[in-house]
Amino acid sequence: EAQVTQNPRYLITVTGKKLTVTCSQNMNHEYMSWYRQDPGLGLRQIYYSMNVEVTDKGDVPEGYKVSRKEKRNFPLILESPSPNQTSLYFCASSGLGAYNEQFFGPGTRLTVL
Amino acid sequence: QKEVEQDPGPLSVPEGAIVSLNCTYSNSAFQYFMWYRQYSRKGPELLMYTYSSGNKEDGRFTAQVDKSSKYISLFIRDSQPSDSATYLCAMSAGYGGATNKLIFGTGTLLAVQP
């Protein structure tokens, strides 16, 4: 089954404790992206990657890091989480080209105390 | 001003009603217009997409794009309780690279009452 998976689905942590949210896709997509979803603000892009070892900032990259060492994986790293990073996070992937549907993962609900 | 504006609702309608959902946008570079549906505790899933202006129909769903007015709509005919979800409009300039980035509306929460 073609899908984007994320882990963990739910996470409660404390300020400053480094964490990683994993994202994996099995569709051989070049493009991967992380979004956060907040009430009243909708989905906003954090980082994206066009291929292995190629990453770039989205609209709200502060406090986040990503890496793309393999085509299928695109982890999101919060090195020192803060309460304002409490949010619902989605990973998405698509092919490149004129138009390609972005497929979303199931989401990770993160709470930073 | 946000690039994409969408009324957050909530919108409550009786089963069988025609639902109209709308978004406006400001960036004339947008070429691809999408509607995603998001059920509670799930990721968004693509419902329909349209390139440039015009209409597109898929079963009970019709998407309309008016680029001259920078206005897009999604119509749902004969709405069902299973249509209850948040509907997100999204847009992109397309053609790969950074233009794969989707700009989303804030979403409209729809409840269809049996």
Question: Exposed e or buried b for every residue in B10-19, given b needs 16+ CB within 10 A?
Answer: ebebeeeeeb
Q: Closest to B105 (Cβ–Cβ): which among A42, A56, A94?
A: A42
Query: Which residue on chain B is closest to A98 by alpha carbon?
Result: B95
Prior bond of A106 cis (ω within 30°) = no
Q: Cα(B11)–Cα(B86) distance, rounded to whole angstroms?
A: 10
Calpha distance A85→B7 (Å, rounded): 25
Cβ contact, residue pair B41, A107, below 8 Å:
yes
Given an 8 Å threshold on Cβ–Cβ distance, is A102 in contact with B96? no
Is A55 in contact with A70 (CB distance < 8 Å)? no
CB contact under 8 Å between A98 and B49, yes or no, is: no
Size of interface A-B (CB pairs under 8 A): 65
How does pLDDT run along chain B (114 residues), one tens digit per residue? 788 999 888 999 999 999 999 999 999 989 889 999 999 989 999 999 898 888 999 999 999 999 999 999 999 999 999 999 999 999 988 655 555 788 999 999 999 999
